[in-house]
């Protein structure tokens, strides 16, 4: 394998040209200063924020305060002083602008899988009797498929795996629920949330969208596009940290009728009454189940401070510019035929990652990581690079592509 610091790139292009362009782009990037809001190791190009986001600078101090003062000194009093008990709704409102939701519709807590189970069973119950099918993205993240199967068994529906492009033709009056990923986790393909939601509504079906690979990287517009229910994690582009709680969005128009299959005491209208009968709380609060994970919950709240003053539209513009530039650098540096992009070239169909197919992908990614370029591998043959515009720059994109070129050179 060649020295990644060599001056000549495979194919004849000179790194200095692309390096100079990267420097100019970084110098004029309005979001470049946001990198200072994160702690990143020196010398590392981090392109795996679509798996685990970087650490925002204020989180460690906030966690120390929670542990030493709120837990250590205030003890149980911290539940009732307005900080802990209201965190799921408060933090839900804080992240709502990033998914295009008005306040009062998003509650934070549990994992994506648990929230998806609530959403799918709740969606089936909202759809009502006489419907028999649940259409599920055929290439969905495996856990989504497992949860969909369980939710379907519970509600008497049949799961029908369907390519998102075929959803409009597959819909019918017997369709109860449509579960779709906004962005494909392997390829980075972005699916048409507005059009697919409209198509589902045209036959009376309820939509559930998984936003794990889009929220925080691009505008989602849940309210604007009349999405019914949505779930997502917060440890990827939202940088909430490992094991950060997920969220559940319940459109305001469905909240009164939303019947959660997990009616925990935190979702009760009067949780401290401790009555034997369950009465759901008003609003999205009925999506709560048990005691929230306070340490990770408040770490997420602090992490979201990194978004102060940031426009999600500006993030999307930089994401597209970064991925365009990376693909251009790959074409210049990597020998022809060594890799194949499986990420759509069209902006309308591209999320915030680039996936490249190649032989020996696992070994190639391991070598990239050893050289300070951190992406990830997806079986059987995909190199996956996530671009988080809050802390990834154009010089990072150029170095990653150049290093990849030298591995193949």
Distance CA 83, CA 228 (A): 29
Is residue 135 within 8 Å of residue 170, measured between CB atoms?
yes
Going 102 to 108 to 113 to 117, the CA torsion angle's sign is negative
Sorted by where each begins, the domain ranges of the chain are: 10-30+311-408, 60-307
Position 8 scores a pLDDT of 40
Between CA 81 and CA 156 the distance in angstroms is 44
CB 149 within 8 A of CB 281: no
Say whether 94 is catalytic: no
Residues comprising the chain, all counted: 409
Cα separation, 221 vs 218, in Å, equals: 10
Q: Which of the following is catalytic: 185, 235, 333, 387?
A: 235
Q: Select which of 141, 237, 247, 325 is catalytic.
A: 141
Q: Three-class SS of residue 402? A: helix
210 is known as an active-site residue: yes
End-to-end Cα separation, the chain, in angstroms: 7
Per-residue DSSP letter, 158 = E
pLDDT score for 16: 74
35 a catalytic residue: no
For this structure, is 235 an active site residue?
yes
Question: What's 124-141 look like in SS3?
Answer: HHHHCCCCCEEEEECCCC
CA-based torsion, 184, 187, 190, 191: positive or negative: negative
Residue 372 burial (CB count, 10 A): 16
The answer to whether domain 10-30+311-408 and domain 60-307 are alike in fold is no
Cβ atoms of 300 and 245 within 8 Å: the answer is yes
Residue 88: CA count within 13 A, CB half-sphere: 26
At residue 248, φ and ψ (nearest 5 deg) are -130, 125
* Strand partners for 374: 46
Place of tokens 């994401």: 319
- The ranges of the chain with pLDDT < 70 are 1-15
Q: Is 385 a catalytic residue?
A: no
- Inter-residue contact 185 to 213 (CB < 8 Å): yes
Which of the following is catalytic: 288, 384, 399, 402? Answer: 384
Report yes or no: 201 and 170 within 8 Å, Cβ to Cβ: no
Q: How far apart are CA 283 and CA 36, in angstroms?
A: 37
Please tell me the predicted confidence (pLDDT) of residue 325: 98
| DSSP 8-class letter at 284 | G
Q: Which of 125, 131, 189, 236 is catalytic?
A: 236
Tokens 């470049």 correspond to what residue? 32
Catalytic residue among 184, 210, 293, 376: 210
Q: Of the CATH numbers 3.90.1150.10, 3.40.50.300, 3.40.50.150, 3.40.50.970, which one belongs to the domain with range 10-30+311-408?
A: 3.90.1150.10
Order of strands across the sheet with 133-137? 106-108, 247-250, 229-232, 206-210, 175-181, 133-137, 158-162
Q: Which architecture, in CATH terms, is 60-307?
A: 3-Layer(aba) Sandwich (3.40)
What pLDDT score does 128 carry? Answer: 93
Chain centroid to CA 117: how far? 17
């Amino acid at each position: 394998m060649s020295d990644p610091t060599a001056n000549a790139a495979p194919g004849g292009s000179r790194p200095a040209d692309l390096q100079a362009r990267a420097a100019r782009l970084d110098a004029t990037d309005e979001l470049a200063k946001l990198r200072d809001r994160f702690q990143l190791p020196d010398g590392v190009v981090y392109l795996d924020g679509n798996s685990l986001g970087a650490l925002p600078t204020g989180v460690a101090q906030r966690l120390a305060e929670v542990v030493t003062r709120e837990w250590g000194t205030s003890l149980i009093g911290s539940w009732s002083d307005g900080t802990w008990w209201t965190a799921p709704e408060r933090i839900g409102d804080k992240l709502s602008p990033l998914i295009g939701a008005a306040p009062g519709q998003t509650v934070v807590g549990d994992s994506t899988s648990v929230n998806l189970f609530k959403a799918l069973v709740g969606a089936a119950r909202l759809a009502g009797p006489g419907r028999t099918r649940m259409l599920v993205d055929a290439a969905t993240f495996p856990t989504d498929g497992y949860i969909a199967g369980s939710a379907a068994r519970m509600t008497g529906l049949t799961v029908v795996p369907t390519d998102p492009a075929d959803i409009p033709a597959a819909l019918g009056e017997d369709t109860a629920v449509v579960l779709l990923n906004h962005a494909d986790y392997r390829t980075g393909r972005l699916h048409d949330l507005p059009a697919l939601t409209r198509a589902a509504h045209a036959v009376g079906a309820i939509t559930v969208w998984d936003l794990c690979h889009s929220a925080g990287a691009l505008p989602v517009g849940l309210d604007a596009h009349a999405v019914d229910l949505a779930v997502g994690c917060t440890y990827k582009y939202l940088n909430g940290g490992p094991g950060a709680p997920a969220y559940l969005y319940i459109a305001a128009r469905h909240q009164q009728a939303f019947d959660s299959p997990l009616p925990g005491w935190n979702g009760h209208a009067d949780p401290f009454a401790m009555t034997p009968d369950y009465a759901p709380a008003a609003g999205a609060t009925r999506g709560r189940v048990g005691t929230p994970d306070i340490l990770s919950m408040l770490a997420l709240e602090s992490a979201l401070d990194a978004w102060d003053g940031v426009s999600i539209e500006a993030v999307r513009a930089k994401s597209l510019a970064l991925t365009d530039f990376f693909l251009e650098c790959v074409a210049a540096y990597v020998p022809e035929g060594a890799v194949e992009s499986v990420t759509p070239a069209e902006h309308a169909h591209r999320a915030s990652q680039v996936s490249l197919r190649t032989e020996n992908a696992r070994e190639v990614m391991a070598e990239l990581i050893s050289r300070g370029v951190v992406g990830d591998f997806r079986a059987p043959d995909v190199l996956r690079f996530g671009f988080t515009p809050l802390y990834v720059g154009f010089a990072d994109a150029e170095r990653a592509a150049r290093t990849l070129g030298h591995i193949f050179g």
